[in-house]
Structure 1
């Protein structure tokens, strides 16, 4: 034990000593990563970047990981402005909008994202693996108290945003569709992106124009949620009666955590996980064929949830889906964020969206969902402080990354399972609701 401790100290000391050489970006040492970036730049300059999947992935993975790393290490940005996720999206949009990235690679990425289903591939893995990876007991127990609190809070927030929208001349429908729903959709990859496709399908407009109106609410809402979580945690110290200090329920219930079983890497299981994810996505598309008013993504989430609760899927296939999900999440999340910035985010539309009315509506959503979740959470036997942070603010964050940021700001990372569950279930409801409301309110 002492020897291991000494070795770890030596390794840490060597890293601090080496500095530049020991820095890693997504598992690659910085010098080698810079060589890869240089190769990419030379290929682009010589117009020798391969087309199709290979060229698109080269741009998205290399630039995405670089931007994600930078965003997670910028002092103020990483703590208060959404970190790597937000920086990656906007940095990618900037190099695309202002011509820093030439038109050739941009067109390759746009084709890959819009015509080859790259985002569908990512979202299918995300939804299937994340839900099947949760403990069944978590879904069952938390549904009694936590889920009603989250849903009531979301409904109150939606209505309040709509009413305030009427008062400030922004309109009920526009406020709900383009501010409230994207803030509560559970992030960008599994929230704003499918929501934009739902809107695009209903309105007959390009998803690139719509997502540029959705991402501002998701990103700005995430920033406000992080700040609010830190403030609530600090204020909660003065009210011990309402503060669980990380425990969400007042009773001495068993700690509910996500299933953290170690999965041994198996290349065959990764392939099986791919098939499971694709099958669920196709099944959602089949249901969407019969009920086009409800999006395929929404059907997919519902089907996976039902299969998890009823234990229809054997443990082996659940493990495969979880393993494949981890592979995709770990290696392609920055690439997806980069793809959104390059192919889907229109900065001109975004700038037009950022008005004083928009700021007021985002603040309305944050304040309403916090107050209602705290009050209703107390009625359901939850600690108000924890309820405000998980059932409230985490449902106004950018999915998994946003949850980590919100809970880190509040020093309550032990509640990540509840935050994730609220995002997944709440996000599913938002997608279903969005597919209905876009036809009624637009």
Structure 2
């Protein structure tokens, strides 16, 4: 029996505390009802959505964590619901694409009041909403993975990460030269920033490198680099959604793992398969998961202060992996963290996507970048080549092609943390977020080293 054929096989779940599970109200419509949103009938959800809209447009929306979650969740859920009404496109990520970009378009057009935009900026930054959601997902995903999967996949993961970066720089450089854009220009202004894993560890330090090499200002380069990163993020989300849709329709046993990362034989499948999740969680388990994820985040923050070169999320992933591999934490405690992560994935991702759209996506920058057709073509090529190379190299180390093309392929070409969430959401593979974090952070660090060596070699005539 193949790994994908075992998807429906029953598995016993780790033992949890014998307390009440979260009940489903008996009068709630089924969650797959066309006229329900997160299990709530539309006649209940819509008045709440309208009440929030009234607060926004009467300039009475409060800038608090609670109100931020309410608005982001309602907006994200409404847009996802709209996307789910389109039969064909919903399989290709439309329910994710809408909440990720529609709010940003509304902000760009000035249709969301500035006071609300400022409140959502505070919600995501000062009030720590992104950390709250992402920490839960990362800790839960890592502690919920089979121990052998982390050990076997982690060792092989360096091959597609490093190979993809080097391959993309080479291929895009050659294509850039062939199109008249320039070999070094294509590497430094397209492939480099796109593959660096976001703005903080990619475009921003690169602009400083280029300014130092040219004697100019970093701001001169930053706009172009940011445009490349933002446009690539859009392309990554769309490509991930399309690849997920293709994978669903494929019958090849080696092409798509339907969320499973490693291709294994029948004897290994049970130990490496990511367990099916329970339909409910105990109140105690959710509280334990919150405490575990929060504590790991605090420890990761301390380590990031001591070693600033490694991002807090990367430290969080490393700590959780060490705990899982060491095996000294009871399985029911690991499962509590996993259930807390599942709660965040199933209920808070719409809020995360909508808040990312409002606070972090600059549609004006994306539109500005579309004025150069060669620049746009090279961005599409960069993302596409990244997915192809990562998929092929992943296949060589016994990853499924679709999973490897997405992680590390597309996640290294998005905007980083929030981009990883968007790509994995579109691909319906949020449980691979720890691997995406490693690819984004460590791959980005490796790329910066490569670019720093290439600047004095190829920079003449470019800067």
Band of TM-score, shorter chain: 0.7 to 0.9
Q: Among residues 45, 49, 70, which one is paired with 1:37 in the alignment?
A: 49
Shift of residue 133 of structure 1?
Answer: 0.9
Q: Is residue 59 of structure 1 aligned with residue 48 of structure 2?
A: no
Cα distance in 1 for partners of 2:98, 2:34 equals 23
CA distance 1:439–1:259, shift in 2 (3 Å): farther
Q: Is residue 196 of structure 1 aligned with residue 199 of structure 2?
A: yes
Residue in structure 2 matched with residue 163 of structure 1 by the alignment: 173
Q: Is residue 377 of structure 1 aligned with residue 395 of structure 2?
A: yes
Q: Following superposition of structure 1 onto structure 2, how do residues 15-34 of structure 1 map, counting pairs within 5 Å?
A: 23-34=35-46
Residue in structure 2 matched with residue 426 of structure 1 by the alignment: 439
Cα distance in 1 for partners of 2:199, 2:149 equals 30
* Conservation of the 8 A alpha-carbon contact between 2:140 and 2:293: yes
Q: Is residue 346 of structure 1 aligned with residue 377 of structure 2?
A: no
Q: Following superposition of structure 1 onto structure 2, how do residues 103-182 of structure 1 map, counting pairs within 5 Å?
A: 103-143=114-154, 147-160=157-170, 163-164=173-174, 167=177, 168-169=181-182, 170-182=185-197
Cα distance in 2 for partners of 1:31, 1:305 equals 44
Structure 1, 196-205 or 356-365: larger mean CA deviation: 196-205
Q: Name whichever structure is richer in helix by fraction.
A: 1
Shift of residue 95 of structure 1?
Answer: 1.7
* Conservation of the 8 A alpha-carbon contact between 1:106 and 1:343: yes
- 1:23-51 Cα shifts (integer Å, max 9, x gaps): 11122111111111221222334333333
- Matched length: 395
- 1:368-401 Cα shifts (integer Å, max 9, x gaps): 54256436734x4x4xxx7432222443166577
Q: Is residue 50 of structure 1 aligned with residue 62 of structure 2?
A: yes
Q: Is residue 366 of structure 1 aligned with residue 377 of structure 2?
A: no
Residue in structure 1 matched with residue 99 of structure 2 by the alignment: 88
Q: Is residue 388 of structure 1 aligned with residue 398 of structure 2?
A: no
Cα distance in 2 for partners of 1:112, 1:421 equals 24
Query: Can you give the 5+ residue segments of structure 1 that lack an aligned partner in the other structure?
Result: 1-14, 183-194, 408-415
* Conservation of the 8 A alpha-carbon contact between 2:232 and 2:380: yes
Shift of residue 349 of structure 1?
Answer: 0.8
What is the CA RMSD across the aligned residues, in angstroms? 4.0
Query: Can you give the 5+ residue segments of structure 2 that lack an aligned partner in the other structure?
Result: 1-28, 209-217, 412-418, 456-463
Residue in structure 2 matched with residue 270 of structure 1 by the alignment: 286
Shift of residue 76 of structure 1?
Answer: 5.3
Q: Among residues 238, 249, 252, which one is paired with 1:223 in the alignment?
A: 238
CA distance 1:65–1:434, shift in 2 (3 Å): farther
Cα distance in 2 for partners of 1:90, 1:124 equals 23
CA distance 1:317–1:359, shift in 2 (3 Å): farther
Q: Is residue 309 of structure 1 aligned with residue 312 of structure 2?
A: no
Residue in structure 2 matched with residue 189 of structure 1 by the alignment: none
Cα distance in 2 for partners of 1:365, 1:24 equals 36
Cα distance in 2 for partners of 1:96, 1:245 equals 38
Q: Secondary structure at the match of 2:105?
A: helix
Shift of residue 157 of structure 1?
Answer: 4.0
Q: Secondary structure at the match of 2:111?
A: coil
* Conservation of the 8 A alpha-carbon contact between 1:125 and 1:274: yes
Cα distance in 2 for partners of 1:212, 1:431 equals 18
